A and B are shown apart, each in its own frame.
Chain A
Amino acid sequence: MTPSAAVTAPKPAGPLREIRGPSAYGGGPRRFLNLTWMIASTEFRLSYFGSALGYLWSLMRPLLFFGVLYLVFSQVLRFGGGIKAYPVLLLLNIVLFSFFSEATQASVTSVINRENLVRKMHFPRMVIPLATVLTGILNLALNLVAVVVFMLLYGLPVRWTWLLLPLIIVPLIMLTAGVAMLLSSLYVRFRDVAPIWSVVVQLLFYASPVLYVATTITHLGNRVVEQILLSSPLAVLLEQARRWIVDPTAPGAIESTGGWELFLIPVAAFVAVCALGLWVFNREAPRIAELL
């Protein structure tokens, strides 16, 4: 057998392209979106179609959590009496906050969990944390259906401002994605990010107006602490959701942070988190496969 005889001068398929190694994005937007959707939807199917009760479990989690909190705070501690439609607000807050906490916590280990993929395939690395967030979004969408049903059953009057909900959801998703990118890339280097973040999420739960509302905070007495709590992007989003969805007489985001000037603090924090997440992930992406 003379191997060289087999060469029949085939032409190269297309022009030479530079291979620059892995990156956060790149490889075309279509492929990026297809891939993110594929990973997120298979993940979503995997978590619900595997068990007998399927999706019901995903619905049960926030509902059970809501049930417990409602019993403890509203019935036992007699809390929330002065808040209009407190049960509805509580459920909405829990669903929104759960999306943030579950998506970010799942994203921490997301890159490491897909080590197999990262070490063997070339693809935009950002797909992984974003797909984790997208799985959370699918959950959130289904849970919001439950919230709407609950709102109608509760007898909340239908208002056109309900249509503004995407203006809450979209920034919430962006914030979650920013945190997800930051955490997933940091976790590759520092393995204690996971336990640290689970504590931080606990803290955020009580530091954000989930169980209470912005006006409750203003009873604290310490101006600085009040301002910090009210200026977190999460607090702003939850407060605005309350005004648009549950109670039009509630102060809303701008008023509760204390006016236009002070409202720039949460906006800046929001932009900073998103930018930091993007920057760190982008910086780490080319080397993730080597650090695994």
Chain B
Amino acid sequence: MNEGNATVEIAGVHKTFRIPKQHVHTLKERALHPFRRTEFIGLEALRDISFQIGAGEFFGIVGRNGSGKSTLLKLLAGIYRADGGSIKVAGRLAPFIELGVGFNPDLTAVDNVVLNAVMMGLSPREARARFDDVIAFAELGAFLDMKLKNYSSGMQVRLAFSVMVQADADVLLIDEVLAVGDAAFQQKCFDAFYRLRDEGKTIILVTHDMEIVERFCHRALLLNAGAIEQIGPPGKVSRRYLELNFEHMETELPTGSRATAAKVSDAWVGDEDGRRLDAVSPGERLVLNVELDVRERIETPTLVVWLETREGVRLFFASSLETGPPPDAFEPGERVHLRVRFANALRAGRYYIGASLGRAAPADDIVFYHPHAGDFTVTGDETYGLLMLEHEVELELDRGLERTPR
């Protein structure tokens, strides 16, 4: 990226939170123990963070919980002060943090929206002029004079998001907006993202959702334990993020997982030539691959793989039994590779690959089970429905029917 184009410039930023060992919460305690030195534990939230974001970039910040994403965002928003380094931003900044923009629940939507705009540096008159757009976007026209505490949480988030989108800021900071809200609101967010991106706004999005990162972001940053793990194209970053999560899952498997008898060494979706794909299109011919390292002797094994949605809806199963009767046994040290060829009927979204290993003897049971052995994204703008079935549409109009008389 060329230097002159930078809208956000972060150089060598550090942030350490000082957490006191015993919290002195009262003056009384202070007065009773005037010479007791409070001991602090330094919690290093961010270490030596340096990067730049160009004008008009859609920039993703990802990382596991506690990796420092939100701290970084709050430093950018000017809510926390960095301990070292410099943060520079060109133009006006609109933050959307912790699902809100700082509303007062006792005020009406009108007062809140105006107050918020003044806080962002507009004059009260400009703020009132902008009000109609905000309400129209949030679709809350009927509830203007209601106090905000009487709004549903979804309505509050909608209003907050709308305030941010309509603020006409140059840089938008968005923290986990998509984690809440119904499908319609999510769609609205997506539309807003596309529009803002086309308008050349700089957008910084913090999210856990790799699908969103790959769909919108030009570049992404992966934070791990307060340091930059990777920065670059969203596909690469999201792969690394999943790897990080995957390492984590070795020790902490999802509920119901069993992992002693075998271990997933890899699970991915590829094309028919064997190339690995992270993002695929609807209708594509694909191969689902699952590789298992066997650790214990498993007699008459059956390997089952499936695809499921984020919500855990299982869409499709395939079994090694479809190739014929099971082998006598898998022995420790062996590697099993199951391939399932299929035509992709999935609509845009993120899908997980699940795998389980069963045996017939000595007892009929499942010795290995992992619902999130791998995952992949189906790209596309159409998000309605889960499946894209092969289909034809016919429309017939019969004008001969009598109309009901008025």
Q: Which A residues have a C-beta under 8 Å from some C-beta of B?
A: 1, 3-4, 6-22, 27-28, 30-31, 34-35, 38-39, 42, 46, 114, 116-123, 186, 189-193, 196, 286-287, 289-290
Q: Measured between C-beta atoms, what is the minimum distance from B256 to chain A in Å? A: 35
Q: Measured between C-beta atoms, what is the minimum distance from A196 to chain B in Å? A: 7
Contacts of A22 in B (CB 8 A): 78-81
Would you list 10 pairs from A and B whose C-beta atoms are within 8 A, ordered by A residue?
A16-B88, A19-B87, A19-B88, A20-B81, A21-B75, A120-B97, A120-B98, A121-B119, A191-B26, A192-B28
Cβ A9 vs Cβ B88 within 8 A: no
Contact of B198 among A6, A186, A287 (CB under 8 A): A6
Q: Measured between C-beta atoms, what is the minimum distance from A35 to chain B in Å? A: 5
Bound Cα distance from A16 to B52, whole angstroms? 12
Q: Chain B: which residue is nearest A287 at the CB level?
A: B81
Contacts of B77 in A (CB 8 A): 121-122
Cβ A191 vs Cβ B25 within 8 A: yes
Cβ A6 vs Cβ B78 within 8 A: no
Q: Chain B: which residue is nearest A20 at the CB level?
A: B81
The digit string for B165-198, where 1 denotes a CB below 8 A from any CB of A, is 0000010000000000000000000000000011
Cβ B90 vs Cβ A15 within 8 A: yes
Cβ A12 vs Cβ B91 within 8 A: yes
Bound Cα distance from A129 to B89, whole angstroms? 29
Contact of A190 among B26, B88, B101 (CB under 8 A): B26
Asked if B253 CB lies within 8 Å of chain A CBs, one says no
Asked if B216 CB lies within 8 Å of chain A CBs, one says yes
Contacts of A287 in B (CB 8 A): 81
Q: Chain A: which residue is nearest B120 at the CB level?
A: A121
The digit string for B12-34, where 1 denotes a CB below 8 A from any CB of A, is 00000100000011111010000
Asked if B335 CB lies within 8 Å of chain A CBs, one says no
Bound Cα distance from A123 to B122, whole angstroms? 12
Bound Cα distance from A248 to B270, whole angstroms? 96
Cβ B79 vs Cβ A116 within 8 A: no
Cβ B114 vs Cβ A38 within 8 A: yes
Which residues B94-140 have CB closer than 8 A to chain A? 95, 97-98, 100-107, 111, 114-116, 118-121, 123-124
Bound Cα distance from A116 to B112, whole angstroms? 12
Q: Which B residues have a C-beta under 8 Å from some C-beta of A?
A: 5-7, 9, 17, 24-28, 30, 54-58, 74-82, 86-93, 95, 97-98, 100-107, 111, 114-116, 118-121, 123-124, 170, 197-198, 200, 202, 215-218, 233-234, 379
Cβ B25 vs Cβ A190 within 8 A: yes
Contacts A38-B118, A117-B102, A120-B101 known; A14 to B90 CB distance under 8 Å?
Answer: yes
Cβ B198 vs Cβ A120 within 8 A: no
Contact of B170 among A4, A13, A120 (CB under 8 A): A13
Q: Measured between C-beta atoms, what is the minimum distance from B170 to chain A in Å? A: 4
Q: Chain A: which residue is nearest B81 at the CB level?
A: A21
Contacts A190-B27, A192-B27 known; A21 to B82 CB distance under 8 Å?
Answer: yes
Q: Measured between C-beta atoms, what is the minimum distance from B218 to chain A in Å? A: 5
Bound Cα distance from A34 to B78, whole angstroms? 20
Cβ A12 vs Cβ B6 within 8 A: yes
Q: Measured between C-beta atoms, what is the minimum distance from A205 to chain B in Å? A: 21
Contacts of A21 in B (CB 8 A): 75, 78-82
Q: Measured between C-beta atoms, what is the minimum distance from B251 to chain A in Å? A: 31
Cβ A122 vs Cβ B170 within 8 A: no
Cβ A16 vs Cβ B234 within 8 A: no
Contact of A16 among B57, B58, B90, B200 (CB under 8 A): B90
Contacts A34-B123, A121-B119 known; A116 to B82 CB distance under 8 Å?
Answer: no
Cβ B115 vs Cβ A38 within 8 A: yes
